[in-house]
Amino acid sequence: MPEANASPATFPSRRPAVWQLRTRALPLGARTLVMGIVNSTPDSFSGDGVGGRVDLAVERGLRLLEEGAAILDVGGESTRPGSGAASERALSLGEEQDRLLPVLEALRRERPEAILSADTYRAATARAAIAAGAEIINDVSGLVWDPGMAAVCAGARCGLVVMHTRGRPDDWRSLPPLAPEEVLPLVREGLQAQLEAAAAAGIRGECIVLDPGYGFGKAWDANYALLRGQAGLLTLRRPLLAGLSRKSFLGRTLRPLYQGEDPEPGLREHASLAAQVAAVLAGASLLRVHAVRPAVEAAAIADAVLLGGGTPPAPPAAALP
Catalytic residue numbers read 247, 288
Query: From CA 68, how far away is CA 312, in angstroms rounded?
Result: 15
CA–centroid distance for 187 within its chain = 15
Amino acid making up residue 5: N
Pairing of strands 25-28, 286-289: unpaired
Element (H, E) at 25: strand 25-28
